[in-house]
Structure 1
Amino acid sequence: MPPANKSKRGSSSLLWDLLTFDRLVTGPVIHFIYWAGLGVVALFGFSVVGAAVGLALKEPGVGSLLLAFPVLVAGLLVAGALVLLWRAFCEFYVAIFRISEDLRALRQTSDADHAAHRARQAQKAASEAQ
């Protein structure tokens, strides 16, 4: 159970939040993973461009150019689709953890409402007993 007064927690608050899962670190971690994944997709895109250029330069003539152009277009389309899929995956992951945080806040509000209701009932019972 965390200390009651948050202002007195000081430097141990971050450690306490991490140990008790009161604060999730998933958001910053997902941002890092997102940018790392975009880097991998960019490497794929660069390799597609390199493969298309290498294919075009392999043999002189129109045949190699006719083969290189569809490879370039298809590879860039696949890279674009990978960017969109990666973004959707990361947003889904963030949404799941935001739902978890919202449910935690709703539970805290509900518990506070129930405690206030019980206190009113106890106060009412005490006043009726007198």
Structure 2
Amino acid sequence: MRRPLHRPEGSSGQFLWDLLTFERLLTGTVFHLVYWAGLGIIGIMAFGILGATVGVAIREGSVVGILLAVGVLGVGALGVFVAVLLWRAFCEFYVTIFKIADDLHVLRKDVEAERARQGR
């Protein structure tokens, strides 16, 4: 019968062990970076919408053009708000999935420890 692999001692060996065996997921820290990068992209889109409204107002140069620019700005702001909410919901969904995976890992360890105690 083959012996299972055992976790090495020491911090550097432990980090490499966690990285190679998926014992500890690194997605929590990485996903914060992904979240902020997505918000940055949405911010760039918001500045693009603001630039488009200024461009429409300057190009038309009349009261109708300014009213059109205000409408474009309102719809654009609403779109950016919805994009931020959807991005947050998307990120929270994935964080929740990974938290469930962590909880299942802890439960599995508890069950294995209980089975080991009963087997003695």
TM-score (norm 1): 0.85
Q: How far off is 1:9 after superposition?
A: 2.5
Q: How far off is 1:66 after superposition?
A: 1.2
Paired amino acid for 1:100: A
Matching of residues 75-94 of structure 1 within 5 Å: 75-94=76-95
CA distance in 2, matches of 1:89, 1:60: 41
Q: How far off is 1:29 after superposition?
A: 1.4
Deviations 1:43-92 (A, max 9, x none): 11101011001100112210101111110000010001000000000010
Q: SS state of the match for residue 45, structure 1? A: helix
CA distance in 2, matches of 1:74, 1:60: 20
Partner of 1:43: 44
Paired amino acid for 1:48: I
Number of aligned residue pairs? 116
Structure 2 unaligned segments of length 5 or more: list them. none
Deviations 1:1-47 (A, max 9, x none): 233xx6x3232111111001111111111111100100010011101
CA distance in 1, matches of 2:119, 2:16: 33
Runs in 1 of length 4+ with deviation above 4 angstroms? Answer: none
Paired amino acid for 1:16: W
Partner of 1:115: 116
Contact 1:2 1:16 in 2 (8 A): no
TM-score (norm 2): 0.92
Identity percentage of aligned residues: 48
Partner of 2:20: 19
Partner of 1:2: 6
CA distance in 2, matches of 1:2, 1:55: 66
